[in-house]
Amino acid sequence: EIVEAGGQVLLPGFVDLHTHLREPGREDTETIETGSAAAALGGYTAVFAMANTDPVADNAVIVDHVWRRGQEVGLVDVHPVGAVTVGLKGEKLAELGTMAKSQAQVKVFSDDGLCVADPLLMRRALEYSTALDVVIAQHAEEPRLTVGAQAHEGERAARLGYTGWPAAAEESIVARDCLLARHANARLHVCHVSTSGTADVLAWAKDRGTKVSAEVTPHHLLLTDERLATYDPVNKVNPPLRTESDAEKLRTALAEGVIDCVATDHAPHAVQDKDTEWSAARPGMLGLQTALSIVAETMVRTGLLDWRGVARVMSERPAEIGNLADQGRPIAVGEPANLTLVDPDAEWTVRGAELASIAANTPYEGMRLPGVVTATLLRGRLTARDGKVC
Ligand code: DOR
Ligand code: ZN
Ligand code: ZN
Ligand code: ZN
């Protein structure tokens, strides 16, 4: 099939280092099939599926299931992220080697929630990761500083009576882990950076040669805790939406390479888990189908990145960080192509109900956004075209 591409931008297929699919465990909110459709429509050719499923992806049986199911669906490569620790408690290291050598060939290990808080466990994980040539992606927060936290700690949360979540909870763990990674001569990846102080810590660590990379979510680039005033739990997310000055600093840090890439933290939730009072609502928001548009809005329209830069933060850097040899590269002659075609001038209106995910918890409901993905190709085959899955 011939794709008409006049006036459009051709990019290497996007790679998402941080996607929550809910299989196994919460297939009422997202499956590998529906999440793959959302990914293809969003311009992705590879996603990393986070380990906080039910049961947790802490063994070869589960990671192999996720990988094989993704290949069966065939819309996007679904690379399972292995859990660093057994279960969600974070007390004991999982068998990283078994997962790395399984059929899924796990390349990234992480945890969600109150995990790898123990410094000795983190040190062991980092040492182990070097031997295996895998990367530890840390969901940085100091749990002893975030007990019961519901929103960014600051004036706005205080006014609304929400328990605050201090920036220092994130920054202290990122600083600690950068020091530990340097000590272990290991590679560390920092998930969803949300504060301006974390960007400072990363710049310092990179300056002294630490092998650290970092991601920022589209929602932390665009949205702020101003959204708290709506009382709408669609805006509840971990880490929380921060201040305008944090968002501004994250955008510059991404443009300058202090933050390496964009990752969605796509987190589907059921209506009953979101459409409830703020304190009871689950944290997280959809991201796969809106990521490119939010990057176009916050980074391209503002002149912070050109489309070459978009290729870097959406595809090349995440492919390098996730050790994917077949993604994020310019294509050589005769090589099957992973490509995304974007109409930079077209706009669309976000409707949660129309997104491919089973869940509909988008914070961009009704917003008109620039940048439309018109085609996605996985190994030379169309997976999405003009808003429809192929
Ligand atoms: O808001 C979030 N939701 N942040 C995370 O890191 C986890 C995610 C989820 O699994 O829902
Ligand atoms: Zn864990
Ligand atoms: Zn997280
Ligand atoms: Zn996450």
Tell me how far apart the alpha carbons of residues 62 and 51 are, in angstroms, rounded to a whole number: 9
The residue nearest atom 2 of ligand 1, judged by CA position, is 284
- Mean pLDDT value of segment 219-228: 96
Average predicted confidence (pLDDT) for the chain = 94
**pLDDT at residue 202, rounded to an integer:** 98
* Cβ of 112 below 6 Å from ligand 1: yes
Span 280-312, pLDDT tens digits: 999 999 999 999 999 999 999 999 999 999 999
The residue nearest atom 5 of ligand 1, judged by CA position, is 238
**pLDDT at residue 198, rounded to an integer:** 98
Biggest CA-to-CA distance, the chain: 60
Interval between CA 237 and ligand 1 midpoint (Å): 7
Interval between CA 9 and ligand 1 midpoint (Å): 31
**pLDDT at residue 81, rounded to an integer:** 97
Tokens for 41, please give them: 């429509």
Span 231-253, pLDDT tens digits: 999 999 999 999 999 999 999 99
Task: Tell me the CA end-to-end span of the chain in Å, nearest whole number.
Answer: 12
More confident residue, 359 or 114: 359
ipTM of this predicted structure: 0.91
Nearest to 40 by CA among 278, 337, 373: 373
pLDDT band at 330 (very low <50, low <70, confident <90, very high): low
Span 81-128, pLDDT tens digits: 999 999 877 789 999 999 999 999 999 999 875 568 889 999 999 999
Catalytic residues: 265
Give the residue ranges of DSSP H helices in the chain. Answer: 32-41, 60-73, 96-100, 119-132, 155-160, 167-184, 196-207, 218-222, 244-256, 271-274, 291-295, 307-311, 317-321
Tell me how far apart the alpha carbons of residues 212 and 300 are, in angstroms, rounded to a whole number: 25
* Cβ of 26 below 6 Å from ligand 1: no
**pLDDT at residue 225, rounded to an integer:** 95
**pLDDT at residue 80, rounded to an integer:** 98
Tell me how far apart the alpha carbons of residues 148 and 383 are, in angstroms, rounded to a whole number: 42
Interval between CA 114 and ligand 2 midpoint (Å): 7
Q: What is the pTM of this model?
A: 0.97
**pLDDT at residue 162, rounded to an integer:** 86
**pLDDT at residue 117, rounded to an integer:** 86
Interior CA angle at 230 toward 229 and 232, to 5°? 130
pLDDT band at 390 (very low <50, low <70, confident <90, very high): very high
* Cβ of 263 below 6 Å from ligand 1: no
Residue 157 phi, psi (nearest 5) = -65, -40
More confident residue, 114 or 278: 278
CB contact at 8 A, 12 and 376: no
Ligand 1 atom nearest residue 267's Cα: 11
* Cβ of 238 below 6 Å from ligand 1: yes
